[in-house]
Amino acid sequence: MRNGLRQSMAWLHSWAGLVAGWVLFCIFMTGTATYYRADVSRWMRPELPVVQQVPTPDDLARAAETAVAHLKGAAPNAIAWYVTLPSAADPAVALMWFTDFALPPGTARLDPATGGPPAVRETFGGDFFYRFHFELNLPSTIGRWIAGICAMIGLVTLLSGIITHRRIFADFFTFRRHAKSAQRSWLDAHNVAGVVAIPFHLMITYTGIATLALMYMPWGVLTAYKGDAMRFYGETGQITAPLAPAGKPGTLAPVGPMVRQALERVSEPLEMVIVEMPGDAKSKVVAVFEEPHGLSHQHPQVAFAGATGTLLQVLNPNLKPASKTFTTMVGLHEAHFAGPALRVLFFLCGLTGAAMVGTGLVLWSVARLPTPGAAPFFGLRLVRVLNLGTVAGLPAAVAAYFLANRLLPVGLGARADWEVGVFFAVWILAAVYAALRPQASVWREMLAACAALFLAVPVVNGLATGRHPLASVAAGDALYLWFDAAMLALAGLFAIAAYKAHGVEAPGRRRPQAVAPLRRNALEQA
């Protein structure tokens, strides 16, 4: 088998990468934005004060009571209520409840002081990017399966890419900007983006699949636990022991005292209160705390009997090796442990991942450029439009989402949905534009549009909220300064890309060459 393995892996790499590339690019982009989920959420609620008080135990107890009062009216027969308590990042109480796990959950946000809606504009904030990066704004089961399948294809693409790329060390630092063929430069860029952060790419792909492992691979739980996932989770020590429902109605004891008691037992900040089967006589109230500083994603939990308020269990996770491996994978994926400096590195690695996928997609079409004068075949035209719509369209949609947050009227009904609507409207518009414009100039036009949109974000923000950089300096508002700086940096990045993109995919910058052995040529001419 002369050269067989490397060639078959190269084939697999380019086609698997193409099939999943567009979804993976979206996952990498929005997932990377999720490293700043709380900051984005805060920026998108400009009514919040610059500095928020850390809630006291009394505040938390009262907020939990307010939430339960609301939920008793809104969803008395729910399977479970999830109450995210106020924090220094977000002063509102966020409610979520399931009446049927097959249906989307109900949600609401309350001002803990009044019990009414918070005096803050309605938005999904950074949660939109978070949910999009593994559910793609689809019904959750379908979205998670698509994301998981694409992640698996991504893992295969990464591994086959490593096997194909035999000069990993020799080419480690090589990016020939002025190579004779455009394909050469794109290949260099793709290699550098992939290889430089390869530990991150492998880690984030595998741990991403692992976070939803039991959904994708339920066969262990099905055989060893007869499908009883709750008993499995309980035995791993990740959740408090499950209670069987009594089947007769009961009343919930006041949750305020339970919250106070839980706070006395755990020193971490309290994040959430879960009420399981709130209408049942055997209901359970669980106080879930933030993870202690560590790689592993383990939440300390305190469980109470809902009807009486008596303490059932204090769960201070002390997991066994396999479970610990799982929670460490989840922890690494989420990077909650990363302080500001390390977070920047994770963010850059995420961008590198998006760049790896994006350059790979472009490389596919550059490598199949028709000889000058020949018309591109249908598949190539399709790939080009999808590439443009994804690589240039998604960033434009992200910028538009931020702009919509500042420009839509604050009192607009279903405002949060409108913001998402603007996101998708701009994205679809970008794809249509990509399909209609000539290939020679469309990259430049669309990248320039991205630059303009990101530049518009700090400008519009300054005009709409008055919190421009000078005001932010005066108020000591680091978040707004950083956000403006990040938007300007992105605008600059897209402006440079637009400047460089001139004629990138136009015929003529590449020597005429047979299409078939392109991979081998590209790799072996190095």
Partner 1 sequence: MGTGRRTGRGYRAGVAGRVLLAIVGGYALAALATAVLSLTLPLEPAEAVTAATLLSFTVMAVVVLFVFAARSLRVATLWLALPVGALSLGLWVLMRAGASV
Partner 2 sequence: MTPIVLLANLALSFAALAALCLSMNRHHAAAFTAKPSRRTMLGLRAAGWAGIALCFAVAVMAEGWNFGPVQWLGSLSGGALLVVALASYRPSWIRPAALLALPLALVAAFTL
321 belongs to the binding site for partner 2 (CB under 8 A): no
145 belongs to the binding site for partner 1 (CB under 8 A): no
The site string for partner 1 over 166-205 (x = CB under 8 A, - otherwise) reads ----------------------------------------
2 belongs to the binding site for partner 2 (CB under 8 A): no
Both tokens of 37, joined, read: 């989920």
Binds partner 2 (CB under 8 A): choice among 345, 410, 463, 489: 345
Q: Please, which residue, 196 or 243, has the CB nearer to partner 2? A: 196
For tokens 């590339």, name the residue: 21
Binds partner 1 (CB under 8 A): choice among 102, 322, 341, 375: 322
Instruction: Count the helix, strand and coil residues of the chain and give each as a percent rounded to the nearest 5.
Output: 60, 10, 35
Q: Please, which residue, 126 or 237, has the CB nearer to partner 1? A: 237
∠ at Cα 507 (504, 513), nearest 5°? 110
Rounded CA-CA distance 54/35 in Å is: 22
Q: Which helix (H) or strand (E) holds 272?
A: strand 270-276
Q: To the nearest whole angstrom, how small is the minimum distance from the Cβ of residue 204 to partner 2?
A: 12
Q: Which helix (H) or strand (E) holds 280?
A: none
Q: Which of residues 231-290 bind partner 1 (CB under 8 A)?
A: 232, 235-237
Q: Which of residues 205-234 bind partner 1 (CB under 8 A)?
A: 206, 209-210, 213-214, 216-217, 219-225, 232
At residue 503, φ and ψ (nearest 5 deg) are: 65, 20
SS3 273: strand
Q: To the nearest whole angstrom, how small is the minimum distance from the Cβ of residue 333 to partner 1?
A: 13
How far apart are the two ends of the chain, measured CA to CA in Å? 22
Contacting residues for 352 by C-beta, under 8 A, at least 6 apart? 193, 196, 197, 200, 201
Residue 170's binding partner among partner 2, partner 1, none (Cβ under 5 to 8 angstroms by kind) is partner 2
54 belongs to the binding site for partner 1 (CB under 8 A): no
Residue 215's binding partner among partner 2, partner 1, none (Cβ under 5 to 8 angstroms by kind) is none
Residue 482's binding partner among partner 2, partner 1, none (Cβ under 5 to 8 angstroms by kind) is none
Residue 59's binding partner among partner 2, partner 1, none (Cβ under 5 to 8 angstroms by kind) is none
SS3 156: helix
Q: Which of residues 167-186 bind partner 2 (CB under 8 A)?
A: 170, 172-177
Binds partner 2 (CB under 8 A): choice among 73, 104, 339, 476: 339
Q: Which of residues 282-301 bind partner 2 (CB under 8 A)?
A: 294-295
Q: To the nearest whole angstrom, how small is the minimum distance from the Cβ of residue 46 to partner 1?
A: 42
- Whether the Cβ atoms of residue 63 and residue 56 lie closer than 8 Å to each other: no
Q: Please, which residue, 61 or 151, has the CB nearer to partner 1? A: 151
Q: Please, which residue, 183 or 323, has the CB nearer to partner 1? A: 323
**How many residues lie near partner 2 (CB under 8 A)?**
25
Stretch of 287-295, 325-333, 353-361, 496-504 lying at the interface with partner 1 (CB under 8 A)? 325-333
Q: Which of residues 196-225 bind partner 2 (CB under 8 A)?
A: 196-197, 199-200
- Whether the Cβ atoms of residue 200 and residue 354 lie closer than 8 Å to each other: no
Q: Please, which residue, 156 or 196, has the CB nearer to partner 1? A: 156
Residue 210's binding partner among partner 1, partner 2, none (Cβ under 5 to 8 angstroms by kind) is partner 1
Q: Which helix (H) or strand (E) holds 493?
A: helix 478-500
Q: Please, which residue, 202 or 452, has the CB nearer to partner 2? A: 202
How many DSSP H helices and E strands does the chain contain? Answer: 20, 7
CA dihedral 307, 312, 317, 323 (to 10 degrees): -80
Q: To the nearest whole angstrom, how small is the minimum distance from the Cβ of residue 479 to partner 2?
A: 18
Binds partner 1 (CB under 8 A): choice among 38, 163, 407, 435: 163
Q: Which of residues 57-86 bind partner 2 (CB under 8 A)?
A: none
Both tokens of 369, joined, read: 């450029």
Q: Please, which residue, 338 or 429, has the CB nearer to partner 2? A: 338
Stretch of 142-150, 347-355, 393-401, 423-431 lying at the interface with partner 2 (CB under 8 A)? 347-355
Other beta carbons within 10 angstroms of residue 502's beta carbon come to: 11
Contacting residues for 8 by C-beta, under 8 A, at least 6 apart? none
Rounded CA-CA distance 315/181 in Å is: 60
SS3 406: helix
Rounded CA-CA distance 70/66 in Å is: 6
Rounded CA-CA distance 327/314 in Å is: 19
Rounded CA-CA distance 226/232 in Å is: 10
SS3 87: coil
Rounded CA-CA distance 127/95 in Å is: 14
330 belongs to the binding site for partner 1 (CB under 8 A): no
**Buried/exposed code over 255-289 (b: 16+ C-beta within 10 A; e: otherwise):** bbebbebbbeebeeebbbbbbbbbbbebbbbbbbb
Q: To the nearest whole angstrom, how small is the minimum distance from the Cβ of residue 177 to partner 2?
A: 6
192 belongs to the binding site for partner 2 (CB under 8 A): yes
Q: To the nearest whole angstrom, how small is the minimum distance from the Cβ of residue 349 to partner 2?
A: 6
User: What are the helix (H) ranges across 212-268?
Assistant: 213-216, 219-224, 229-236, 255-265
At residue 296, φ and ψ (nearest 5 deg) are: -75, 140
Q: By the criterion CB under 8 A, which residues form the site for partner 2?
A: 170, 172-177, 192, 196-197, 199-200, 294-295, 332, 337, 339-342, 345-346, 348-349, 352
Q: By the criterion CB under 8 A, which residues form the site for partner 1?
A: 1, 4-5, 7-12, 152, 155-156, 159-160, 163, 206, 209-210, 213-214, 216-217, 219-225, 232, 235-237, 320-323, 325-326, 329, 516
